[in-house]
Amino acid sequence: MKRIVIASILKPVDDSRMYEKISLSLSKAPQYEMHVIGLNAKSETHHPRIKFHPIFNFTRLSLKRLLAPLNFFLKVRSLNPDLLIICTHELLFAGWIYKKLNKCKLVYDIQENYVHNILFTKVFPTWLRPLIALKINIYEHFFSPAIDFFFLAEKTYLKELRFLNKEAQVIENKYSGKLIKKDLQKDSGQITLLFTGTLADHYGIFEAIELCHNLHQVNPKIHLKIIGYASQVRVLHKIKEMIGNNSYIELIGGNKPVSHSIILDEIRKADFGLISYQKNESTKNRMPTKIFEYIANNLPFLLCPNPLWVKYSEQFNACIPIDFQNYKTEDILRQMGRNDFYTDGCRQEVLWESEEPKLLETVGNLLNN
């Protein structure tokens, strides 16, 4: 048996990529023993061939987070893996030390361009962003020679990340489930719009709420469900302020993470999704995971005018492209009444099944060499 450990400081042990995609795929191979290290799970999770280690529990800025790499190192040393997959830059130092002391292959699963995220979003104070970005940049460049292989969640990282001096494989965050075929009913008593995922400025949560207000004024059947987590108190306060006492907008989560299974349930019940990202250097060349999720679940969506995303989505007749800063409410409602969504394209392309063989082959080669 080969023991594989996958770990993240930022994600729970039941995370959709770490657990539902990478770990579940690798657990299908009888020669692998899987262990997942992360934050406390958002829901109770069990699997006969995967062991969960929720050793992290802290806020974004806290002393516990500074000590997390040490706790991680001690846990990894007790597990003694043959392959260590690290999903966050903060664990690179601990992973590097462990590899120095033990015979182990080290993989860096890059889910974000962390430097871009820090520099171009409002998560941290303006004066602090360059310092944090510099520290991450130094970390990734310094430790990259010790990394045996890179997994990349986005194709654009091949161009953006200059420290990729070893082999790398793009393994996209596609949908880890089956295609859903559902009737698109818009003549019922309510038309439910859905905003899923992280609640932050650059993901367009405020634009989504404003759009709902405008649509509801013309058509009272319009309702909005917001489901996700806002890590910034400022953002959550503004969301609640914009919702006010309006019963046609519902917030699920907000101050706490929401299980991915609950998000998928809401996707299957909704009539339209909302992808209202602001223009931002950190996201413009990435493919939002929710695009794969919406297409797989036959959910049409209103999409901001990013050429890459629009081109990809239009091959399935999946979206209504709109400029969330400049639109005519009546035109949007008219387009939402169309009945030609999902009439073209092979939706099989959006499934994790297309990525799984690459993962299994790469891990097999690493452990056999």
Predicted pLDDT of residue 10 = 86
Taken in order 215, 207, 153, 166, the sign of the CA dihedral is: positive
Tokens for 77, please give them: 């040393």
Q: Quick one: which of 206, 199, 272 has its CA closest to 232?
A: 199
Predicted pLDDT of residue 317 = 95
| Coil vs helix vs strand at 285 | coil
Predicted pLDDT of residue 62 = 65
Read off the DSSP letter of residue 112.
S
Q: What are the φ/ψ torsions at residue 366 (nearest 5 degrees)?
A: -60, -45
Please identify which residue in the block is written with the tokens 């309510």: 190
Contacts of 358 (CB under 8 A, 6+ apart): 169, 170, 171
Taken in order 243, 247, 251, 255, the sign of the CA dihedral is: positive
Q: Which domains does the chain have, with CATH numbers?
A: 2-176+352-368 (3.40.50.2000), 191-350 (3.40.50.2000)
What DSSP string runs through 146-180? G-SEEEESSTTHHHH-TT--S-EEE----B-S---
Spatial contact of 196 and 176, defined as CB atoms under 8 Å apart: no
> Can you list the alpha helix ranges (DSSP code H) found in the chain?
24-27, 63-79, 92-101, 114-120, 129-143, 157-160, 205-218, 233-243, 260-269, 289-296, 307-314, 329-336, 356-368
Sort residue 219 into left (φ over 0), alpha (ψ -120 to 50) or beta: beta
Q: Quick one: which of 300, 90, 296 has its CA closest to 173?
A: 296
Predicted pLDDT of residue 63 = 73
Please identify which residue in the block is written with the tokens 């995609």: 21
Predicted pLDDT of residue 184 = 67
Side chain identity at 68, as an amino acid letter? A
- CA–CA distance, 336 with 342 (Å, rounded to integer): 13
Q: What are the φ/ψ torsions at residue 140 (nearest 5 degrees)?
A: -65, -40
Predicted pLDDT of residue 65 = 77
Q: Which helix (H) or strand (E) element contains residue 275? A: strand 272-275
Please identify which residue in the block is written with the tokens 């099989």: 348
Tokens for 289, please give them: 């995971």
Residue 176's alpha-carbon distances to 20, 289, 354, in angstroms, are 7, 11, 10
Residue 319's alpha-carbon distances to 217, 218, 268, 309, in angstroms, are 23, 21, 16, 10
Read off the DSSP letter of residue 40.
P
Tokens for 304, please give them: 């901001």
From first to last of its 369 residues, the chain has per-residue pLDDT tens of: 999 999 999 899 999 999 999 999 999 999 999 999 999 887 778 899 999 999 987 666 667 778 889 999 999 999 999 999 999 999 999 999 999 999 999 999 999 999 999 999 998 899 999 999 999 999 999 999 999 999 999 999 999 999 997 789 999 999 999 999 877 655 668 999 999 999 999 999 999 999 999 999 999 999 999 999 998 999 999 999 999 999 999 999 999 989 999 999 999 999 999 999 999 999 999 999 999 999 999 999 999 999 999 999 999 999 999 999 999 999 999 999 988 899 888 899 999 999 999 999 999 999 998
Where b means 16+ CB within 10 Å and e means fewer, 311-350 reads: ebbeebebbbbbebeeeebeebbeebeeeebbeebebeeb
